[in-house]
Every structure is written in structure tokens, then in C-alpha cells.
Structure 1
Amino acid sequence: MSMPEAKPIQYEYLDHTADVQLHAWGDTFPEAVSQLVRAFYGYHTEDVKLIDVDYSMDIAASGHDRESMIHTLLEECLYLFETDPFFIAKEVEIVDYKQAGNSIIIRGWGESFDKHKHPGGTAVKAITYSSMQIHDNIEGKVHIYVIVDI
């Protein structure tokens, strides 16, 4: 499967005491999750345009509800970023999403993080459940808010 065309950025970073809140949105829940993962990786470097696409990686997660599924997915992304090959994604797409089972598989296209190549953003230490929110219909969009410990 080839990398999809670059999608418009539909995420932002909101200040939060000693942490940061990732806010992502999309027309559907899977699209909002894709944007959330892009936001997560984008926070680790000052310029995502410098991330090349050397390989893709599939990341799977599940949970007892959507919130726990998102938490598990971001924990997996954090683990892959912090361990060899130190994966950082430029683009993300949903490969499979099962709403009934709260399971998801994403594919990220990117490369291994290199502190000499990728200007340092802020290191994420942990994903939290604190104030996690999913809003299904705000002006026709799905919005997801997740606080990460930095």
C-alpha cells in the first residue's frame, strides 16, 4: 500500500498546566484519530516537513471503550518513538477500525527520529486519561482532546 496524499492539518496544541492538550478533529472518528496521531508525532519535532518517508509501520490498539482504545494507541506510538527504531510518522491513515470492538489499526509513514535532522520539539513522557474528551458532532466534525504529560 502506498502512502496517501498529505492531508490538511486538523489539529492544534492547547496549553495546559505542566502538560499539553492535543486537540484533533475530522469528518469521522477514524479521521480524527488519524489527526490525533499526527499531532502526537508533530509535537516531537519543530518541523514535520523534515520527516522523510523511509518505511511504514502498522500500529494496532484496542480497548473496552473508545477512550481506552485511543490511550492504548498513543501509548503504542510513544513506545515506538522511544525504542529502536525510534519511529516518527509524517503521515497516518486508518487501515482498519471496528467500532463495535473498539479496535483500530493505523499505518504510519515516516522514518527513524534523528535529533540532528529533526529539530527538537517537546518530549512526551506519558499519555493521560485526564480530561480526555470525544465530541461526536460539533459543527459536523468529531473532536478529540487528549492531555499528554511533557
Structure 2
Amino acid sequence: MSPMPYRFLDHTGDFAIELEAADAPEAYGLATRALLHLLTDAPETVRETTTRDIALEGVDPTDLLITLGNELLFLFEVEGFLAARLDVEHCDDDTLEGTLHGAPYDPAHHPIARPAKAVTHHDARFEAREGGVHARFVVDL
């Protein structure tokens, strides 16, 4: 099994997720996977049987990252949809369009390890660096 391309950090009662990616589309995809992994310790149990198209807006890439995280939590809480993967079709500094692949939530198959309330702006960042993107966001549990 290859190492996770993201890591979880304890953050005063919350969790911070930090990731390194080659570019913005990969960063948004990794954020999607990391949030699933935070919610359930068994992300491999989420089969990609359903899709959802998304079109999100933010004021900058950091805000867009937070908007994505909160959209994923909304889809889980309201529609019972667990997103396992994001295929980005278009993104720039303030828009993100793509397709989420995942499955309907089934408590018998998808153990929820850490219920999450929201992705917050606190300590969030999305930085272009030489060789890629560094991103960090905090999830309020």
C-alpha cells in the first residue's frame, strides 16, 4: 500500500489536513479523498457507484477549498452521499467544476469514525509553490 499523499494533524479538538499536490486539480481531488478518510477509517469500503456533478465558486483558491469541503459534508449529511473521488473538469482561482464519484451512505458498510461539522477558514491555505501546491484546511469535529 502506498503512503497517503496527505496527513492528519491534531488541531485543538479539530483535525487539520495538509496535502502536497502537483497542481490545483490534484489538490482538490486529494482533499476529497482526505475528507472521506477523516470521516471513515475504511475509505476503501466506499464503492464508486454514484456520481454528482458540482460547480463551486470561491473568492480565491483557499476559499474554494473550504467551499469544496463544506459541499462534501453537506452532501453526506443531507443526501447521504459519500464522495470517494473528484474528477476536476475545470478549475481556476475562483471556480471549480467536476464530477464526484462515491456511494450512498450505508451504516452497515461505512463506519463513521469522526463526524464532522464544517471545514473552517481558520488556518486554511492553498499555496502555489515550486513543483506544486501546498494546501491545508481544518475540519471542525
Q: Same fold (TM over 0.5)?
A: yes
Q: Once the two structures are superposed, what CA deviation does each residue of 1:7-40 show, in whole Å capped at 9, x if it has no partner?
A: x842111111110001122100221111011111
Task: Indicate the structure with greater helix content.
Answer: 2
The offset of 1:42, in angstroms, is 1.7
Q: Which residue in the other structure is 2:59 paired with? A: 64
Give the TM-score normalised by structure 2: 0.90
Question: Do the aligned residues in 1 keep the contact of 2:70 with 2:119 (CA within 8 Å)?
Answer: yes
Q: Say whether 1:128 aligns with 2:123.
A: no
* Count of paired positions: 140
Where structure 2 has 5 or more consecutive residues not aligned to the other structure, the ranges are none
- SS of residue matched to 2:39: coil
The structure with more strand, counted as a fraction of residues: 2
Any idea what the Cα deviations from partners look like across 1:122-146, whole Å, max 9, x if unmatched? 01111110011123116x2311000
Q: How does 1:1-150 map to 2 (within 5 A)?
A: 9-84=4-79, 86-99=80-93, 102-137=94-129, 140-150=131-141
> What is the root-mean-square deviation of aligned Cα atoms in Å?
1.7
% same residue: 28
**Structure 1 stretches of at least 4 aligned residues deviating more than 2 Å after TM superposition:** none
TM-score by length of 1: 0.85
> Structure 1: how far apart are the matches of 2:4 and 2:97?
20
Gaps of 5+ in 1: 1-7
